[in-house]
């Protein structure tokens, strides 16, 4: 089962890449963009068909390696299984 993980900096953490991108976008004429935050997108394949088991494995991977939980939040997204 494919699991998507989105990792973002906590709101209280300064984001220099986001700030630089925001400044560059303003210079390119994107005046309607008020802020930019840069994060990471990770896809993992988990050898299970059980969504809860896949979520548990992904969360453990985030806690142990993929996310710096002092500075970052993570969101785990599973495929829509209601089809």
If you count DSSP H runs as helices and E runs as strands, how many of each does the chain have, helices first? 2, 3
Predicted local distance difference test score (pLDDT) of residue 81:
58
CATH of the domain at 55: 3.30.1280.10
Q: What is the pTM of this model?
A: 0.85
17 lies in some domain = yes
pLDDT in tens, the chain (83 residues): 999 999 999 999 999 999 999 999 999 999 999 999 999 999 999 999 999 999 999 999 999 999 999 999 999 999 885 54
Does 27 fall in a domain?
A: yes
Give domain status of residue 54, yes or no. yes
| Total domain count, the chain | 1
Residue 83, domain member (yes or no): no
Q: Would 32 be classed as within a structural domain?
A: yes
| CB-based contact 41:59 (threshold 8 Å) | no
Hey, what are 56's tokens? 């548990």
Q: Which domain holds residue 6?
A: 2-77
Residue 82 domain-assigned? no
């Amino acid at each position: 089962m494919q699991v998507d993980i989105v990792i973002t900096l906590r709101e209280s953490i300064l984001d220099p890449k986001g700030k630089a991108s925001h400044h560059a976008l303003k210079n390119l004429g994107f005046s309607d963009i008020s802020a930019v935050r840069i994060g990471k997108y990770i896809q993992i394949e988990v050898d299970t068909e059980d969504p809860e088991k896949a979520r548990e494995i992904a969360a453990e991977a985030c806690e142990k390696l993929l996310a710096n939980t002092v500075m970052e939040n993570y969101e785990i997204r599973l495929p829509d299984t209601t089809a």
